[in-house]
Amino acid sequence: MQARIRLEVKVVRRLLEAPRASGVGTYYCHLGRLVGGALALGADPERADAPPELHDVRWLPIAGLDGYAELARVLPLLGRGGGDADP
């Protein structure tokens, strides 16, 4: 994460492993704790010779994320405190 969005995150646990809503590939989602850094667009180290996949990075309120198919499956796993669910 640090290379792509300039944040240092500690993975607490995997929340979900499921087929992508698009039907192509597997979706993995982990609960993480922010331990350092500042949100900013970085670089994609695996794609050094290709255009970047990320073009923007920003914080979004959890309340507005239920319209995203993958995230709609994850939000109930977080508990009522958003990212404050017990590990």
Give the chain's domain count.
Answer: 1
User: H or E segment at 72?
Assistant: helix 69-74
> Cβ atoms within 10 A of the Cβ of 87, count?
6
Would the pTM count as exceeding 0.85? no
- The pLDDT mean for the chain works out to 78
What number of helices (H) and strands (E) belong to the chain?
Answer: 2, 2
**Domain ranges, residue 58:** 2-84
Q: Quick: pLDDT tens for 12-26.
A: 999 889 888 777 899
